[in-house]
Amino acid sequence: AQSVAQPEDQVNVAEGNPLTVKCTYSVSGNPYLFWYVQYPNRGLQFLLKYITGDNLVKGSYGFEAEFNKSQTSFHLKKPSALVSDSALYFCAVRDIRLTGGGNKLTFGTGTQLKVEL
Protein backbone atom coordinates (compact mmCIF):
# COMPACT_ATOMS: atom_id res chain seq x y z
CA ALA A 1 0.00 0.00 0.00
CA GLN A 2 1.11 3.57 -0.58
CA SER A 3 0.22 6.61 1.48
CA VAL A 4 1.03 10.28 1.91
CA ALA A 5 0.84 12.50 4.97
CA GLN A 6 0.70 16.28 4.99
CA PRO A 7 0.86 17.05 8.69
CA GLU A 8 -0.13 20.71 8.45
CA ASP A 9 -3.59 21.81 7.41
CA GLN A 10 -2.40 25.39 7.03
CA VAL A 11 0.91 27.19 6.78
CA ASN A 12 1.17 30.95 7.25
CA VAL A 13 4.19 32.90 6.09
CA ALA A 14 5.05 36.54 5.48
CA GLU A 15 5.80 37.67 1.96
CA GLY A 16 9.52 37.54 1.27
CA ASN A 17 10.17 34.85 3.85
CA PRO A 18 11.08 31.28 2.94
CA LEU A 19 8.28 28.72 2.99
CA THR A 20 8.15 24.98 3.57
CA VAL A 21 5.18 22.69 3.08
CA LYS A 22 5.79 19.25 4.53
CA CYS A 23 5.08 15.85 3.02
CA THR A 24 6.02 12.35 4.13
CA TYR A 25 5.23 9.18 2.24
CA SER A 26 5.08 5.43 2.63
CA VAL A 27 5.66 2.93 -0.17
CA SER A 28 6.99 -0.60 -0.30
CA GLY A 29 9.47 0.13 -3.07
CA ASN A 30 10.87 3.33 -4.48
CA PRO A 31 8.56 6.28 -5.04
CA TYR A 32 7.52 8.65 -7.73
CA LEU A 33 6.62 11.88 -5.92
CA PHE A 34 4.64 14.89 -7.09
CA TRP A 35 3.49 18.28 -5.91
CA TYR A 36 0.36 19.94 -7.26
CA VAL A 37 -1.16 23.35 -6.54
CA GLN A 38 -4.83 24.28 -6.58
CA TYR A 39 -6.18 27.81 -6.79
CA PRO A 40 -9.77 28.50 -5.65
CA ASN A 41 -12.44 26.71 -7.69
CA ARG A 42 -9.89 25.31 -10.10
CA GLY A 43 -8.35 21.93 -10.84
CA LEU A 44 -4.90 20.84 -9.70
CA GLN A 45 -1.84 22.09 -11.57
CA PHE A 46 1.44 20.19 -11.71
CA LEU A 47 4.35 21.88 -9.89
CA LEU A 48 7.19 19.38 -9.86
CA LYS A 49 8.08 15.72 -9.56
CA TYR A 50 10.82 13.43 -8.32
CA ILE A 51 11.47 10.34 -10.39
CA THR A 52 15.14 9.58 -9.92
CA GLY A 53 18.48 11.35 -9.75
CA ASP A 54 19.20 14.60 -7.97
CA ASN A 55 17.42 14.83 -4.63
CA LEU A 56 16.69 18.54 -5.13
CA VAL A 57 14.02 19.03 -7.75
CA LYS A 58 13.17 22.42 -9.24
CA GLY A 59 9.72 23.18 -10.56
CA SER A 60 7.36 25.91 -11.66
CA TYR A 61 7.03 29.39 -10.10
CA GLY A 62 10.34 29.14 -8.21
CA PHE A 63 9.32 26.13 -6.13
CA GLU A 64 11.64 23.27 -5.31
CA ALA A 65 11.40 20.10 -3.30
CA GLU A 66 13.92 17.92 -1.58
CA PHE A 67 13.64 14.16 -1.65
CA ASN A 68 14.98 12.54 1.53
CA LYS A 69 14.86 8.77 1.35
CA SER A 70 15.97 8.11 4.91
CA GLN A 71 13.24 10.36 6.29
CA THR A 72 10.72 9.38 3.58
CA SER A 73 10.01 13.05 3.02
CA PHE A 74 9.47 15.31 0.04
CA HIS A 75 9.04 18.81 1.43
CA LEU A 76 8.09 21.68 -0.86
CA LYS A 77 10.13 24.87 -0.51
CA LYS A 78 10.49 28.34 -1.89
CA PRO A 79 13.20 30.82 -0.85
CA SER A 80 10.96 33.90 -0.95
CA ALA A 81 7.18 33.62 -0.74
CA LEU A 82 4.75 35.77 -2.70
CA VAL A 83 1.16 36.64 -1.84
CA SER A 84 0.22 35.02 -5.16
CA ASP A 85 1.58 31.69 -3.86
CA SER A 86 -1.42 31.47 -1.53
CA ALA A 87 -3.22 28.28 -2.57
CA LEU A 88 -3.87 24.67 -1.61
CA TYR A 89 -0.92 22.33 -2.12
CA PHE A 90 -1.12 18.57 -2.56
CA CYS A 91 1.63 16.00 -2.35
CA ALA A 92 1.17 12.69 -4.20
CA VAL A 93 3.05 9.39 -4.41
CA ARG A 94 3.18 6.29 -6.53
CA ASP A 95 5.15 3.13 -5.82
CA ILE A 96 7.23 2.49 -8.96
CA ARG A 97 6.85 -1.26 -8.50
CA LEU A 98 3.10 -1.14 -9.04
CA THR A 99 2.04 -2.54 -12.37
CA GLY A 100 -1.24 -2.92 -14.13
CA GLY A 101 -3.80 -0.41 -15.16
CA GLY A 102 -4.33 2.99 -13.74
CA ASN A 103 -0.95 4.15 -12.47
CA LYS A 104 -2.85 5.44 -9.50
CA LEU A 105 -1.44 8.28 -7.49
CA THR A 106 -2.24 8.58 -3.80
CA PHE A 107 -2.77 12.17 -2.68
CA GLY A 108 -2.33 13.81 0.69
CA THR A 109 -5.12 15.80 2.31
CA GLY A 110 -3.65 19.12 1.22
CA THR A 111 -2.01 22.08 2.96
CA GLN A 112 -3.45 25.57 2.66
CA LEU A 113 -0.63 28.08 2.21
CA LYS A 114 -1.39 31.65 3.19
CA VAL A 115 1.17 34.33 2.37
CA GLU A 116 0.53 37.70 3.97
CA LEU A 117 2.02 41.12 3.39
Partner 1 sequence: DVKVTQSSRYLVKRTGEKVFLECVQDMDHENMFWYRQDPGLGLRLIYFSYDVKMKEKGDIPEGYSVSREKKERFSLILESASTNQTSMYLCASSLRPGGNLGYTFGSGTRLTVV
To the nearest 10°, report the CA torsion of 73, 76, 79, 85.
-160
Site for partner 1 (CB under 8 A): how many residues?
A: 28
Residues 33 and 26: their CA atoms lie apart, in Å, by 11
Instruction: Kindly state the smallest distance separating residue 62's Cβ from partner 1, in Å.
Output: 19
* CB neighbour list of residue 37: distance below 8 Å, 6 or more residues apart: 44, 45, 47, 87, 88, 89, 90
Residues 116 and 98: their CA atoms lie apart, in Å, by 41
Would you say 25 or 34 has its CB closer to partner 1? Answer: 34
Stretch of residues binding partner 1 (CB under 8 A), selected from 30-38, 57-65, 67-75, 76-84: 30-38
Binding mask 45-84 for partner 1 (x = CB under 8 A): xx--x-x---------------------------------
What is the phi/psi pair of residue 85, to 5°? -80, -10
Q: Which of 8, 15, 86, 105 binds partner 1 (CB under 8 A)?
A: 105
Q: Which residues bind partner 1 (CB under 8 A)?
A: 9, 32, 34, 36, 41-46, 49, 51, 90, 92, 94, 96, 98-105, 107-110
